[in-house]
Amino acid sequence: MVRPSLTPLYLSSVDNGVSASQLIKRLEDDVGYHIQNVMDCGNDRFKIIKGLSAAHEMEQKDFYEDPDATIKDLVLCSQGELPDRQTTPYFSMKGFFNNLQEQWQNQVHSSSRDTLQFGANFVYGEVLTSTSTLMDANPRLLKNLPDGFTISGTTQVSGRGRSGNVWVNPPGVLAVSTLMKLPLKSQDISPVSFVQYIATIAYIQAILTYGPGYENIPVRIKWPNDIYIMLPQYLGQVIPSNSTETTYAKIGGILVNTNIFNEEFHLVVGCGLNVSNAAPTTSVNLVIEEMNKRLGTKLQKVNNEHLLANFLAIFNSMFNRFKREGFEPFLPLYYKLWLHSDQIVHIHHKGNVRCKVTGITKDWGFLVAKEVDFQGRFTGQTFELQPDGNSFDMFKGLISKKQ
């Protein structure tokens, strides 16, 4: 597959671009320009273009460019000059900001102490390298970004996954990365290992609360941070709660990258969700279509602007509570949404040990599995487990962290 050429990155903020302008000024003061209008932020160089009209005069990128090495065009936009559908046909920044403000109103009542920042400063690129790498690999940029800074894109040509996997994702996958900050001293209450769990819950809740009737979409969590949905051919059937990959397929996942500046974790949380692309398995909108056919529902397909705003508002609210109370308040919802209650797994530990999944640990989120005999009785041996990169398979085997 030939990688498509990069398109401009459009930057704005919910306050008519004021915060975005302040960010550019801060970068100019701290990073400065490597050459005229070009900032070297570490892994990437960004050409700063102030105003959409100036962006229209830019030359198109060379088709044969190296997307990781080329200078990225970063266009600063006010709310009055956001790109239109002709410029960004797959995503409306105006529609996103409108939805975000509406979703903030729905979330703000949860606590007067909450600050709603996720997505307030926002970048969209139709074709970009990687929403996470653009932040995580550029320390000069990252340390200056405000809490909640978010990048989204339609096509990633250097998408990143666990164990360093790289891919090109086609249109139809909603890719987003958000920066969140957490003081180092907060680890006793809010260990960073749980942020991936919070993000996974938030993305699923964004689907289930999209509107009336969407709460019935069969989307679930595969431990530790994958999003699964029931395959269309099984809709309407009675499926056991401990069902496996034979009835569910992966449509999304979470990846958290961690940096430390000024006694704070800078967590870049990357999330990808297959909203409308049928390959390689299925998508949210394909399942919605089949629900309408098989179950008689009348749900509209989800759109990226609404779904993304819903996710960011929910994630923001959950993260604020997580900082105050830790992960324990979210455990009941996590267990309600995951696939693994009472699931039987086999652990490679001095042979093949038959175990039942009973939950996750409250300290670091390791999977708890207890050995059982063939009558389902516990033997007294308990394992705490962690995934082991690509060799890990929830439904075929696990490795032992400690016993």
SS3 letters for the chain?
A: CCCCCCCCEEEEECCCCHHHHHHHHHHHHHCCCCECCEEECCCCEEEEEECHHHHCCCCCCCCCCCCCCCCEEEEECCHHHCCCCCCCCCCCHHHHHHHHHHHHHHHHHHCCCCCCCCCCEEEEEEEECCCCHHHHCCHHHHCCCCCCCEEEEEEECCEECHHHCEECCCCCEEEEEEEEEEEHHHHHCCCHHHHHHHHHHHHHHHHHCCCCCHHHCCEEEECCCEEEEECHHHCCCCCCCCCCCCCEEEEEEEEEEEEEECCEEEEEEEEEEECCCCCCCCCHHHHHHHHHHHCCCCCCCCCHHHHHHHHHHHHHHHHHHHHHHCCHHHHHHHHHHECCCCCEEEEECCCEEEEEEEEECCCCCCEEEEEECCCCCEEEEEEEEECCHHHCECCCEEEEEEC
Q: What angle do CA 235, 334, 281 make, to 5 degrees?
A: 35
Most confident region among 154-163, 197-206, 369-378 by mean pLDDT: 197-206
Topology given in CATH for the domain delimited by 9-336? BirA Bifunctional Protein; domain 2 (3.30.930)
Give me the pLDDT at residue 320, please.
Answer: 94
Using an 8 Å Cβ cutoff, are 169 and 132 in contact? Answer: no
Q: Is the pLDDT of residue 5 over 90?
A: no
Mean pLDDT for the stretch of residues 153-168: 67
What would the mean pLDDT of 145-157 be, rounded to a whole number?
95
pLDDT at 168: 66
What pTM was estimated for this model as a whole? 0.90
pLDDT digits (tens, 9 = 90+) for 335-381: 999 988 888 888 877 778 889 999 999 888 999 999 999 888 999 99
Closest alpha carbon to 206 in 254, 168, 155? 254
pLDDT digits 0-9 by tens, 36-48: 899 999 999 999 9
Mean pLDDT of the chain: 87
Q: pLDDT digit string (tens) for 276-318?
A: 987 778 999 999 999 999 999 999 999 999 999 999 999 999 9
What torsion do the CA atoms of 48, 50, 53, 55 make, to the nearest 10 degrees?
Answer: 10
pLDDT band, very low/low/confident/very high, at 387 (cuts 50, 70, 90)? low
* Structure-model confidence comparison of residues 271 and 63, the more confident one: 271
Mean pLDDT value across residues 314-332: 95
| Residues 6+ positions from 287 with CB-CB distance below 8 Å | 217, 218, 229, 230, 232, 235
Angle CA 99–104–107, to nearest 5: 130
pLDDT level of residue 166 (50, 70, 90 thresholds): low
Q: Is the pLDDT of residue 65 over 80?
A: no
Give the domain ranges of the chain: 9-336, 342-402
For residue 267, give the amino acid letter.
L
Paired sense of beta strands 367-372 and 378-386, if any: antiparallel
Closest by CA position to 332, among listed 187, 192, 201: 201
Q: pLDDT of 72-86, one tens digit each?
A: 999 999 888 899 999
Note whether 287 and 237 are within 8 A (CB).
Answer: no
